[in-house]
Amino acid sequence: MKHSLGAAAVAAALVTGAAFFSPFACAQANSQDSSPSTDDARPGAAATFGFIKDSSQGIYAGDILARVRAIGILPDSHASGSVLPSLGVSVNNAIVPELDFTYMILDNVGVELILGMSRHQLTSNLGHLGGVNVLPPTLLLQYHFNHAGKVRPYVGAGINYTRFWNSSLNAGGTPISIKNHSVGPALQAGVDIQISKRLFFNIDVKKVWMKTDTSLAGTDLGTLHIDPLIVGVGVGMKF
């Protein structure tokens, strides 16, 4: 729950930032258009804060954005069912690389595919339960604020498909069986900050809902909800 609240707070802050930067950028642009100066007419004239006048910069329909991030995966694990909640099962954090690609459908609207993999260890009141690999490709529809600016906040929503594999989960030597896939919603908020014509710095926060059903020797244990908050920083390139 605390990670969910953290995600909501970060997302709110980013959206608030977007609301600030976008009108400010537009105001700067309108001001410059209404009263052009000789400085503006020069090639390579200085850009106003938050807005790049050179239309070859920023992002536009048809652009492809590729990002590489280091992400921290912070599970908000909890259980439901008859047995699993009483075992106090928890899932450890992980830090892994992540790759994503965004295709801009419109100047402000893009579709992002996120790829990454992590391995998590599970513990309980009974001790260490083993580990499992998690492959969670996620598809998001994004809205980018201030698309022609240096500072470009965005928000996204979409769907996550999680594949669980290479599980070594067991209790007292008896294998714990898990459902090997999960489908759930995903939310996102982040910001791209222009460094050069094609290169940008990225901060990104996602909340992903994923779960798996568990059983031991044919006995249903319940459902483990992992629901991680994912915080990432990295760099991106525009193509």
User: What pLDDT digit, counting tens, does each position of 67-92 carry?
Assistant: 999 999 999 989 898 788 888 889 99
Residue 4 in contact with residue 76, Cβ under 8 Å?
yes
Which of 67, 80, 22, 28 shows the shortest CA–CA distance to 225? 80
Check residue 132 and give its pLDDT: 93
The sign one gets for the Cα dihedral 223, 99, 11, 183 is negative
In sequence order, the 6+-apart residues with CB closer than 8 A to the CB of 228 are: 3, 73, 74, 75, 76, 207, 208, 210
- At residue 55 the predicted structure's pLDDT band, cuts being 50, 70 and 90, is low
Pick from 17-26, 173-182, 228-237: least confident? 17-26
User: What pLDDT digit, counting tens, does each position of 30-43 carry?
Assistant: 444 444 443 444 34
Q: Which residue has the higher pLDDT, 29 or 71?
A: 71
- Looking only at the bridges linking them, the beta strands covering 229-238 and 199-208 are antiparallel
- At residue 189 the predicted structure's pLDDT band, cuts being 50, 70 and 90, is very high
* Amino acid at site 72: G
What value does the mean pLDDT of the chain take?
Answer: 82
Strands of the sheet containing 174-178, edge to edge, are 78-80, 219-225, 211-216, 174-178, 170-171
Check residue 62 and give its pLDDT: 95
User: What pLDDT digit, counting tens, does each position of 115-160 carry?
Assistant: 999 999 999 888 899 999 999 999 999 999 999 999 999 999 999 9
> Could you give the CA distance from residue 139 to residue 186 in angstroms, rounded to a whole number?
8
